[in-house]
Structure 1
Amino acid sequence: MKEARSTDGGDMARRITQRRSELGFSRAEVAERAGMDPGYVEYLEEHPASLSRESLYRLSQALRTSPDHLLGADTETPPGSSATAVPEPENRALTAEECLALVGPGGVGRAAFTETAGTAPVVLPVNYVLDGGAVVFRTAADGIIARYAPGPMSFQVDRLDETMSEGWSVLFTGRSRVIGDAAELAVLREHRALRPWAGGDRETWIRLEPERITGRRVGGRTAPAEDGSPGDGPVSRH
């Protein structure tokens, strides 16, 4: 059996673990879906390994993603550029509560603001956490965000699963400010682990208090069967 190619695009063990976490599956559930032993799934998440093409395919199907994603071969591909087997994805608006639940775990989002009226917006990726319904992130003291705050700001977070034509996007709109209160900073440092995505000296903390929270979830809708009968229906999970 030929082995699946390896790439320099990422750590497959980390990608398997991350994807399983996103789906909320246990190792046993993944093993059952992939027809593998749970101990082998555990091994794959903790050690470098070479899978046969067949095993890689079964694992990617169990994790509802693509072999290329698990291999890290799609890291240079813009999100949404790949064709999928779901031609007409459905979408719906999210409530503010649903939006907060989705972005609650934290991660990487994009801060957006306009420095001067009539100019193009500045959009920058930052690693964030959610604190009491507000977005909190760190930046450089002499950076463009710190120089801009306080002021109106938007913050967008999304997650896409191209293989299943699923995903969601959440947008916060509100006002940003530099956190200058020592007590507030002490609480954040103690209870909100926050590592800057871009690294470096980023000890200025920014808080975005949302005035409006909106979002949408996109879910795949299967295509009709060749005999004209309906497909399996929506595959999105609300």
Structure 2
Amino acid sequence: MFTEAMAMNTTKRTGQGHGWTGSDLSRRVRGRRTALGLSRDEVAERARMDPSYVDRIETAPVALTGGDLIRLADALDTTISDLLGAHPEQPAGHGRAARHPVLDTMREDECRRLIEPGGVGRIAFQLVGRPYVVPVNFAMHDGAVVFRTGATTALGRYGTGAVAFEVDRIDDGMHEGWSVLIDGVARQAGPHETAQLRKLLDLEPWGGGDRQVYVVVEPEQITGRRIRTW
């Protein structure tokens, strides 16, 4: 049984003709149908579904069977992975651009809102005179980026001073996404600050190992861009 709860977090979005939709799957189905110029009735006929069921899929969280997803993806000339936004074995951003892409510059407050939950970002720093970029699990604390590394790693030895930090989110199914770039200064937290951060933040590097060095990136400039369709 495929359910939206298994595939993505529930979010509120504004939709055409409805006050909100219940999930990313709803948004992807509605967006793909609109891009193809199909009505809900036409999609329902293609997918051998009741039109009211298609309407519900587009406006509220619905538990879909594997068969439902296969027929819906076929009706929309796409794949199940695109509908669910899941392509684990390939880089994000494959395929062609949307038919009507719009590139927007985001304000700093929107950038901060997007990265506030933390997650995975990329830290760029100088290593022997050359740029070096590594992914890290990060959290936000008092407006600063915080991540953990090992004392003997390249990041632990050389990843202080002027740095860049980038976070992005790509939605392959909708051909949309955003990117936030932070220019700032990185420093290693001292013993007292490290103890505080350890208590306050649930920050566990996926890489494992001995990563007891807390690095704090104080932003000097935060910029971002969002690509969307209309």
TM-score (norm 1): 0.69
Identify the residue that residue 134 of structure 2 maps to in structure 1.
Answer: 124
Identify the residue that residue 214 of structure 1 maps to in structure 2.
Answer: 223
Identify the residue that residue 34 of structure 1 maps to in structure 2.
Answer: 57
Q: How far apart in 1 are the matches of 2:83 and 2:209?
A: 29
Instruction: Report if aligned partners of 1:57, 1:67 keep a CA contact under 8 Å in 2.
Output: no
Q: 1:94 to 1:73 in 2, by over 3 A?
A: closer
- Describe how 1:69-218 pairs up with structure 2 within 5 A: 69=82, 74-83=87-96, 86-117=98-129, 119=130, 121-182=131-192, 184-218=193-227
Offset, 1:197: 2.3
Letter in 1 for 2:113: A
Q: The residue matched to 1:217 in structure 2 has which SS?
A: strand
Q: How far apart in 2 are the matches of 1:142 and 1:211?
A: 27
Q: 1:212 to 1:126 in 2, by over 3 A?
A: same
Q: 1:73 to 1:37 in 2, by over 3 A?
A: closer
- Describe how 1:55-70 pairs up with structure 2 within 5 A: 55-56=69-70, 58=72, 67-69=80-82
Offset, 1:23: 5.8
Q: How far apart in 2 are the matches of 1:76 and 1:218?
A: 23
**Long gaps (5+) in structure 2:** 14-20, 27-52
Q: How far apart in 1 are the matches of 2:71 and 2:180?
A: 31
Instruction: Report if aligned partners of 1:107, 1:127 keep a CA contact under 8 Å in 2.
Output: yes
Letter in 1 for 2:137: N
Partner deviation per Cα, 1:153-178 (whole Å, 9 max, x = no partner): 11000001122121100001111111
Offset, 1:87: 2.4
Letter in 2 for 1:200: G
Identify the residue that residue 9 of structure 2 maps to in structure 1.
Answer: 20
Instruction: Report if aligned partners of 1:35, 1:58 keep a CA contact under 8 Å in 2.
Output: no
Q: How far apart in 1 are the matches of 2:165 and 2:137?
A: 11
Identify the residue that residue 50 of structure 2 maps to in structure 1.
Answer: none
Q: How far apart in 1 are the matches of 2:108 and 2:60?
A: 40
**Long gaps (5+) in structure 1:** 4-11, 45-49, 221-233
- Of 51, 67, 83 in structure 1, the residue corresponding to residue 66 of structure 2 is 51
Identity %: 38
Q: 1:71 to 1:26 in 2, by over 3 A?
A: closer
Letter in 2 for 1:197: W
Q: How far apart in 2 are the matches of 1:180 and 1:141?
A: 13
Offset, 1:150: 2.6
Q: How far apart in 2 are the matches of 1:129 and 1:161?
A: 22
Q: How far apart in 1 are the matches of 2:173 and 2:83?
A: 12
Q: How far apart in 1 are the matches of 2:6 and 2:86?
A: 17
Partner deviation per Cα, 1:135-191 (whole Å, 9 max, x = no partner): 000111111111014311110000011221211000011111111132x22222222
